[in-house]
C-alpha cells in the first residue's frame, strides 16, 4: 500500500549505500524537506516559530551532537548544558567583537570554539569510562557555568551578568535581536539543522563513525583490530561539542535573545538533552529528531489541551504535565528500551509488508 | 512520526488561533509551581482576586471586563517566552513579567511589538529612564533605590556613619540578585563600608557555605536579594547561627509570610523593605474577602489573603486598573489598545486621595509618572516581622534613596543600552 518496492532495483553501490535506500522513504524525506523549506516559511507565525519550531530545531541539533558522543561512541556525557553555554558565550563574544560579520560565520566559529573546549574536557575519557566519565563531564558542566558567572569578561561587564544578543544579519536580513521575522529565524535554524543532520549522518556511516561504534561496542577489541582510541574518542568529543556549540549559539542568539547562564544552561539542560536521545533512540539520527520533538512538543501540546481546550487552572496543568511526561518516559523505556527510533523501525518493517504479511 | 508531528503542530495552531479580543486582556505570567512557587502564588492570587473584584463589583473598568489570562512560567525564561508569544496575539495590553530574567528577555521583544511592560519593582533598573525605554516601566521603586534605602536605614541605625562597618549582600545568583551590586559598590566607596558579596545559586536551597562565611566575616548588616525557597532557607540558616535578626534586611521580595513563617520563633525581628502597606486593614481587601474569596470566586484557596505577596498583587492590579481608566479618559474609547495604555502610563498620576477612593487609603505613596521618569515615587520603607502575632509592622516612613548615587548610574546604564541598540532618546 504505502511501500511499493517492486521494481525498485539498485544497480550501483552508491544507490545501495544511500541514506534512504527505499524509494518511498526517500520521497517522503524530500517531501518533508520541501514542506519545511518552501511551505512552512510562508505560514509560520511568531508563536509557531518561537514556541515550537525553533526549540525543536535547536534541541534536535543538540541531540544529534550528544548522540554522536553517547549513542555512537558510547561516552556518557552530562556536560551538554555547559558546552551549549560555551557555544552561546563564544557566539556572544564574536557577535559583539565583529558586528559586521555574517551570523553564519559566528555560529560556526562558536561551534569550533566549543569543539576545542570539548576536546579539552574529553581528555579524561582516555582514562576513565562509564559512570566515572559521566561524573567528569558533570564537573565540566558545573565548572563552565561557574566560569561564565564568575568572569565578567565573558558577559562584557554588563551589570546584570546577562548576555543579550544585539541585532545581527545574514545577507542583510536580521536573524537575531528583537526585530526579526519568524520566517528568517526559522530558516536560519532549519539550515543549520539540516546541515548538521547531513554532516552527522555521513560521518557516522564513514570510517570515523565505524571507529566510534567499534569503541562503543568493545573498546579493547577495537584497539586490537587497529582503532586508535585516542583519536576515536577525541574526535567524537570534538564533533559532538561542535554540534552542541552550534545549538547553544542558536539557542542564545536566535531563540532566547538574552541568557542567564545558570538558569538556561544549568544541569537540567544536560539532562533534558540526554533524555531526548534516550527516548528518541541512542545511536540513531531519526531518534535525535524524534526525541527532541517528543520533549519539546509534548509539554506545549499538553498545556494547550489542558488550558485552552479543557480550561483547567494553569498550575494543575503544569503539575499534570510533569506527571504525564514522566510516566510516558517510564512507559516508553519499559515497552521500547531502544526508543522511538526502534518503534518507528518496527512499524516501518510491518508497513513494508502490509497488507500481506507472511 | 513526521506525519504525527505535523498533525500535532496543526492542532496546536488551531487551538491558539482563536483569540478572544473582546475584553481588556492582561496576561499574568504566574508561577504556581517550582522552587519559586512560595513567592509566586500569593502574588498571583492577589492580582487575580482584585481583578475579579473589579469585574464583579464594578462590571470591569469603563464597562469593559478585564480578562486575566494566566500562563504558568515556573519562573523559567523559556516558558516565559512561550507564554509571551502565546498571549501577545490575544490583544495583551501590558505585560507584567514577574521575573527579572523574563523582563530582560521581553524588553527588546515587547518594544518591537509595541506592547508596554511594567516590571513592578524588579527588572532592569535603568528602565526608569523613559527617554530610552519607551515601552518599559519600573515603578514604584527599583533595586538600586532599594539598595540605597537599605544602606540609608543601616546608617541611621548606626548613628549616621557606616565607616569601617561591614555589609554582606546575600543574593540570588542571577540577573535579579546582581542588580544591586553596582549601587552598593558605589555606596561603599561613598560611606566607607566594606561590601561582602555572597552569591547563592538557583534554586537556593544550598546555603551552608555562604552562612559559614557570614559566621566568619561577622558582617554588621546582611542584605538579602532572594526569591522563592531561597528566602526561607536563608532566614532559617540565619536563625541557626543566631545572626541578629534586626541586622538582617531583605529586599521587598524577601519579606513575606511564606519566607518567615516556616522558621517560627527564630524569624522574630527579621526586617525587609517594602513599598506598600501590610495587613488586611484596607476596605478594598475586606471587599475582596467578602465578594471574591467568600463567594468562592478566588483564584487560589484564599489562605494567602492579606499576605505581603498577596498585597503586592493587589497593588499591581489596582495601579493597572487606574492606568486603564486613565487611558480610557485620554482616548475616549473603552476598548483601549496597548499604545493607548502606554500613553496613559506615561502621564499616570495616582494621588493618595485616589488610593483612598479605591479603598486602599494609606496603602502606598502617591504615583506620578512622566515621559522622562518611568518610575515613581521611588520610595521604600522598612518593615519588621513579629513572630508572636505573625504580623509585619512598618518601622519607618517611606524613605528616599540617595539620588546622587542612583541617578547617574541609571543615566550611564540606559545610555549604554541606547548606544548598543541604536535608540535615539525621546521626550525632547
Tell me how far apart the 2 most distant CA atoms of chain B are, in Å: 73
Please name every residue paired with B367 in a beta bridge, in sequence order, or none if there are none.
Answer: B350
Quote the cell numbers at residue B338: 496597548
Contacts of A317-323 with C-beta under 8 Å, sequence gap 24+, read A317/B72, A318/B32, A318/B33, A318/B72, A318/B74, A319/B33, A322/B33
pLDDT tens-digit series, residues B74-120: 888 888 988 998 888 888 999 999 988 899 889 988 988 999 999 99
Which residues of chain A from 20 to 79 reach within 8 Å of chain B, CB to CB? 28, 32, 35, 45-48, 50-52, 55
Quote the cell numbers at residue A124: 579524561
Whether residues A263 and B174 touch (CB distance < 8 A) is answered with yes
pLDDT for position B120 = 93
The span from the CA of A92 to the CA of A98, in Å, is: 10
Q: What is the mean pLDDT of chain B?
A: 89
> Judging by DSSP bridges, how do beta strands B117-118 and B136-137 pair with one another?
parallel
Per the structure, the complete domain to which residue A95 belongs is given by: 44-266
Whether residues A47 and B1 touch (CB distance < 8 A) is answered with no
Whether residues B9 and A297 touch (CB distance < 8 A) is answered with yes
The span from the CA of A104 to the CA of A183, in Å, is: 16
Measure B57 CA to nearest chain A CA, in Å. 23
pLDDT for position B13 = 44
- Phi, psi angle pair for B167, to nearest 5°: -120, 130
Measure A248 CA to nearest chain B CA, in Å. 14
Q: Is B157 on the interface with A (CB under 8 A)?
A: no
The span from the CA of B313 to the CA of B50, in Å, is: 8
- Using an 8 Å Cβ cutoff, are A250 and A84 in contact? no
Whether residues B70 and A160 touch (CB distance < 8 A) is answered with no
Nearest to B421 among A160, A166, A314 (CB): A166
Which residues of chain A from 257 to 286 reach within 8 Å of chain B, CB to CB? 257-258, 260, 262-264, 266, 286
Q: Best interface-test mutation with A: which of B3, B4, B5, B88 has the largest number of A CBs within 10 A?
A: B5
Whether residues B108 and A177 touch (CB distance < 8 A) is answered with yes
Residue A98 burial (CB count, 10 A): 13
* A23 domain-assigned: no
The span from the CA of A247 to the CA of A229, in Å, is: 27
Whether residues A293 and B1 touch (CB distance < 8 A) is answered with yes
pLDDT tens-digit series, residues B165-197: 999 999 998 888 988 998 999 999 999 999 999
Count Cα neighbours of B255 within 13 Å in the Cβ-side half-sphere.
33
Which residues of chain B from 95 to 114 reach within 8 Å of chain A, CB to CB? 100-101, 104-105, 108-109, 111-112
Nearest to B104 among A48, A164, A166 (CB): A164
Whether residues B175 and A293 touch (CB distance < 8 A) is answered with no
Whether residues B89 and A46 touch (CB distance < 8 A) is answered with yes
- Using an 8 Å Cβ cutoff, are A193 and A122 in contact? no
Nearest to B13 among A48, A167, A322 (CB): A48
Q: Does pLDDT of B156 surpass 70?
A: yes
Q: Is B152 on the interface with A (CB under 8 A)?
A: no
**Locus of grid cell 544591586:** B180
- In B, which residues are within 8 Å of A260 by CB distance? 77, 101, 104, 174-175
Q: Is A162 on the interface with B (CB under 8 A)?
A: yes
For residue B330, the surrounding DSSP H or E stretch is: helix B308-331
* A173 domain-assigned: yes
> Cα–Cα–Cα angle for B67, B69, B71, nearest 5°?
170
pLDDT for position A16 = 85
Please name every residue paired with B71 in a beta bridge, in sequence order, or none if there are none.
Answer: B29
pLDDT for position A61 = 97
* A187 domain-assigned: yes
ipTM of this predicted structure = 0.85
Range B67-71 average pLDDT: 91
pLDDT for position B339 = 93
Give domain B15-141+279-377's CATH number out of 3.40.50.720, 3.40.50.1240, 3.40.50.2300, 3.40.50.300: 3.40.50.2300
| Ranges A1-5, A142-146, B278-282, B345-349: which has the least confidence | A1-5
Q: Does pLDDT of B222 surpass 90?
A: yes
Chain A residue with the nearest C-alpha to that of B203: A263
Range B235-248 average pLDDT: 94
Please name every residue paired with A164 in a beta bridge, in sequence order, or none if there are none.
Answer: A258
Q: Which segments in chain A show pLDDT lower than 70? A: 1, 358
- Using an 8 Å Cβ cutoff, are B196 and B168 in contact? yes
Q: Is A167 on the interface with B (CB under 8 A)?
A: yes
Q: Is B202 on the interface with A (CB under 8 A)?
A: yes
pLDDT for position A203 = 95
pLDDT for position A216 = 94
Please name every residue paired with B250 in a beta bridge, in sequence order, or none if there are none.
Answer: B224, B272
Whether residues B174 and A313 touch (CB distance < 8 A) is answered with no
pLDDT for position A307 = 85
Contacts of A225-232 with C-beta under 8 Å, sequence gap 24+, read A229/A126, A230/A126, A232/A73, A232/A208
Whether residues A166 and B16 touch (CB distance < 8 A) is answered with no
Cis geometry, peptide bond prior to residue B303 (ω within 30 degrees of 0): no
Question: CA dist B396 to B155, B162, B267, B271, B274, Å?
Answer: 14, 19, 20, 11, 10
pTM exceeding the 0.95 threshold for the entire prediction: no
Please name every residue paired with B200 in a beta bridge, in sequence order, or none if there are none.
Answer: B172
* A20 domain-assigned: no
Whether residues A297 and B413 touch (CB distance < 8 A) is answered with no
Q: Is B81 on the interface with A (CB under 8 A)?
A: yes
Helix ranges (DSSP H) in B130-180: 143-157, 175-178
Range B8-31 average pLDDT: 62
* A106 domain-assigned: yes
> Judging by DSSP bridges, how do beta strands A173-174 and A169-170 pair with one another?
antiparallel
Chain A residue with the nearest C-alpha to that of B104: A258
Structural domains counted in chain A: 1
Per domain, the residue ranges of chain B are 15-141+279-377, 143-276+380-408
Nearest to B72 among A55, A297, A315 (CB): A315
Q: Do B15-141+279-377 and B143-276+380-408 have matching folds?
A: yes
Q: Is B8 on the interface with A (CB under 8 A)?
A: yes
Measure B394 CA to nearest chain A CA, in Å. 30
Q: Does pLDDT of B5 surpass 80?
A: no
Whether residues B108 and A264 touch (CB distance < 8 A) is answered with no
* A144 domain-assigned: yes
Q: Is B12 on the interface with A (CB under 8 A)?
A: yes
Count Cα neighbours of A341 within 13 Å in the Cβ-side half-sphere.
19
Q: Is B13 on the interface with A (CB under 8 A)?
A: yes
Whether residues A262 and B71 touch (CB distance < 8 A) is answered with no
pLDDT for position B325 = 94
Measure B37 CA to nearest chain A CA, in Å. 10
- Using an 8 Å Cβ cutoff, are B84 and B95 in contact? yes
Q: Is B129 on the interface with A (CB under 8 A)?
A: no
pLDDT tens-digit series, residues A51-65: 899 999 999 999 999
pLDDT for position A158 = 81
Whether residues A256 and B78 touch (CB distance < 8 A) is answered with yes
Q: A282, A296, A300: which is closest to A340 by C-alpha?
A: A282
- Using an 8 Å Cβ cutoff, are B205 and B229 in contact? yes
Q: B133, B391, B356, A24: which is closest to B365 by C-alpha?
A: B356
- Which is the CATH superfamily of the domain at B143-276+380-408? Response regulator (3.40.50.2300)
Whether residues A46 and B16 touch (CB distance < 8 A) is answered with no
Residue B306, burial from CB neighbour count under 10 angstroms (0-12, 13-18, 19+)? buried
Cis geometry, peptide bond prior to residue A355 (ω within 30 degrees of 0): yes
Q: Is B72 on the interface with A (CB under 8 A)?
A: yes
- In A, which residues are within 8 Å of B9 by CB distance? 48, 52, 297
Which residues of chain B from 355 to 414 reach within 8 Å of chain A, CB to CB? 413
The span from the CA of A191 to the CA of A195, in Å, is: 6
pLDDT for position A1 = 63
Quote the cell numbers at residue A348: 516501518
Amino acid at each position: 500500500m504505502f511501500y511499493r518496492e517492486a521494481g525498485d532495483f539498485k544497480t550501483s553501490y552508491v544507490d545501495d549505500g544511500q541514506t534512504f535506500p527505499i524509494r518511498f522513504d526517500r520521497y517522503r524525506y524530500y517531501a518533508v524537506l520541501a514542506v519545511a523549506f518552501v511551505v512552512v516559511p510562508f505560514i509560520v507565525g511568531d508563536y509557531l516559530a518561537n514556541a515550537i519550531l525553533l526549540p525543536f530545531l535547536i534541541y534536535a541539533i543538540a541531540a544529534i551532537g550528544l548522540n554522536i558522543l553517547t549513542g555512537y561512541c558510547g561516552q556518557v556525557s552530562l556536560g551538554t548544558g555547559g558546552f551549549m553555554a560555551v557555544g552561546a558565550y563564544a557566539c556572544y563574544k564574536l557577535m559583539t567583537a565583529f558586528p559586521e560579520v555574517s551570523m553564519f560565520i559566528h555560529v560556526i566559529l562558536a561551534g569550533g570554539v566549543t569543539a576545542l573546549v570539548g576536546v579539552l574536557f574529553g581528555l579524561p575519557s582516555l582514562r576513565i569510562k562509564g559512570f566515572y566519565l559521566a561524573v567528569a563531564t558533570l564537573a565540566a558542566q558545573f565548572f563552565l557555568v561557574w566560569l561564565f558567572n564568575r568572569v565578567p569578561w565573558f558577559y562584557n561587564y554588563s551589570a546584570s551578568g546577562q548576555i543579550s544578543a544585539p541585532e545581527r544579519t545574514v545577507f542583510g536580513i536580521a536573524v537575531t535581536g528583537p526585530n526579526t521575522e519568524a520566517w528568517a529565524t526559522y530558516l536560519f535554524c532549519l539550515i543549520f539543522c539540516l546541515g548538521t543532520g547531513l554532516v552527522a549522518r555521513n560521518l557516522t556511516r564513514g570510517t570515523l563513525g565505524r571507529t566510534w561504534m567499534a569503541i562503543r561496542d568493545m573498546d579493547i577489541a577495537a584497539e586490537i583490530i587497529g582503532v586508535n582510541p585516542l583519536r576515536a574518542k577525541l574526535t567524537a568529543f570534538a564533533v559532538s561539542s561542535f554540534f552542541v556549540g552550534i545549538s547553544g549559539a542558536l539557542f542564545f542568539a536566535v531563540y532566547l535573545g538574552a541568557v542567564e547562564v545558570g538558569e538556561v544552561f544549568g544541569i537540567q539542560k544536560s539532562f533534558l538533552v540526554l533524555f531526548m536521545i534516550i527516548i528518541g533512540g541512542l545511536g540513531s539520527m531519526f531518534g535525535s529528531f524524534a526525541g527532541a520533538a517528543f520533549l519539546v512538543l509534548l509539554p506545549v501540546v499538553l498545556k494547550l489541551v489542558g488550558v485552552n481546550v479543557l480550561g483547567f487552572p494553569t498550575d494543575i496543568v503544569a503539575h499534570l504535565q510533569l506527571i504525564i511526561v514522566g510516566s510516558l518516559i517510564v512507559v516508553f523505556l519499559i515497552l521500547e528500551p531502544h526508543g522511538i527510533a526502534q518503534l518507528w523501525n518496527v512499524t516501518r518493517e510491518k508497513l513494508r509488508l502490509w497488507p500481506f504479511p507472511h | 512520526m513526521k506525519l504525527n508531528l505535523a498533525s500535532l503542530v496543526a492542532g496546536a495552531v488551531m487551538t491558539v488561533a482563536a483569540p478572544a479580543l473582546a475584553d481588556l486582556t492582561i496576561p499574568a505570567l504566574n508561577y504556581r509551581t517550582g522552587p519559586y512557587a512560595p513567592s509566586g502564588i500569593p502574588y498571583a492570587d492577589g492580582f487575580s482576586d482584585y481583578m475579579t473584584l473589579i469585574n464583579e463589583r464594578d462590571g470591569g473598568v469603563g464597562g469593559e471586563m478585564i480578562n486575566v489570562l494566566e500562563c504558568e512560567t515556573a519562573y523559567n525564561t523559556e516558558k516565559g517566552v512561550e507564554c509571551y508569544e502565546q498571549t501577545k496575539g490575544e490583544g495583551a495590553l501590558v505585560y507584567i513579567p514577574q521575573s527579572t530574567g523574563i523582563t530582560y528577555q521581553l524588553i527588546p521583544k515587547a518594544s518591537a511589538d509595541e506592547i508596554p511592560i511594567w516590571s513592578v519593582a524588579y527588572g532592569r533598573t535603568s528602565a526608569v529612564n523613559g527617554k530610552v525605554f519607551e515601552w518599559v516601566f519600573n515603578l514604584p521603586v527599583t533595586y538600586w533605590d532599594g539598595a540605597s534605602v537599605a544602606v540609608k536605614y543601616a546608617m541611621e541605625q548606626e548613628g549616621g556613619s557606616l565607616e569601617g562597618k561591614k555589609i554582606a549582600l546575600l543574593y540570588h545568583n542571577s540577573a535579579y540578585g546582581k542588580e544591586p551590586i553596582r549601587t552598593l559598590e558605589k555606596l561603599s566607596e561613598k560611606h566607607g563600608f566594606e561590601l561582602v558579596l555572597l552569591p547563592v545559586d538557583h534554586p537556593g536551597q544550598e546555603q551552608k557555605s555562604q552562612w559559614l562565611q557570614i559566621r566568619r566575616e561577622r558582617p554588621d548588616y546582611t542584605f538579602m536579594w532572594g526569591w522563592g525557597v531561597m528566602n526561607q532557607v536563608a532566614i532559617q540558616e540565619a536563625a541557626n547561627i543566631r545572626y541578629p535578626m534586626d541586622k538582617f534586611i531583605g529586599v521587598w521580595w524577601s519579606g513575606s509570610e511564606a519566607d518567615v513563617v516556616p522558621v517560627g520563633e527564630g524569624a522574630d525581628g527579621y526586617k525587609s523593605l517594602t513599598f506598600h502597606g501590610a495587613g488586611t486593614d484596607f476596605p478594598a481587601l475586606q471587599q475582596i474577602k467578602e465578594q471574591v474569596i467568600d463567594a468562592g470566586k478566588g483564584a487560589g484557596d484564599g489562605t494567602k489573603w492579606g499576605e505581603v505577596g498577596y498585597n503586592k498583587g493587589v497593588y499591581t492590579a489596582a495601579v493597572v486598573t487606574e492606568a486603564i481608566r486613565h487611558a480610557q479618559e485620554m482616548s475616549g474609547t473603552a476598548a483601549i489598545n496597548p499604545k493607548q495604555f502606554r500613553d496613559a502610563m506615561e502621564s499616570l498620576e495616582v494621588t493618595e486621595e485616589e488610593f483612598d477612593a479605591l479603598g486602599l487609603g494609606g496603602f502606598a505613596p502617591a504615583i506620578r509618572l512622566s515621559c522622562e521618569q518611568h518610575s515613581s515615587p521611588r520610595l521604600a520603607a522598612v518593615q519588621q516581622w513579629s513572630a508572636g502575632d505573625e504580623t509585619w509592622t512598618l518601622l519607618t516612613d517611606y524613605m528616599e534613596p540617595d539620588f546622587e548615587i542612583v541617578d547617574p548610574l541609571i543615566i550611564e546604564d540606559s545610555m549604554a543600552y541606547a548606544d548598543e541598540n541604536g535608540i535615539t532618546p525621546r521626550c525632547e
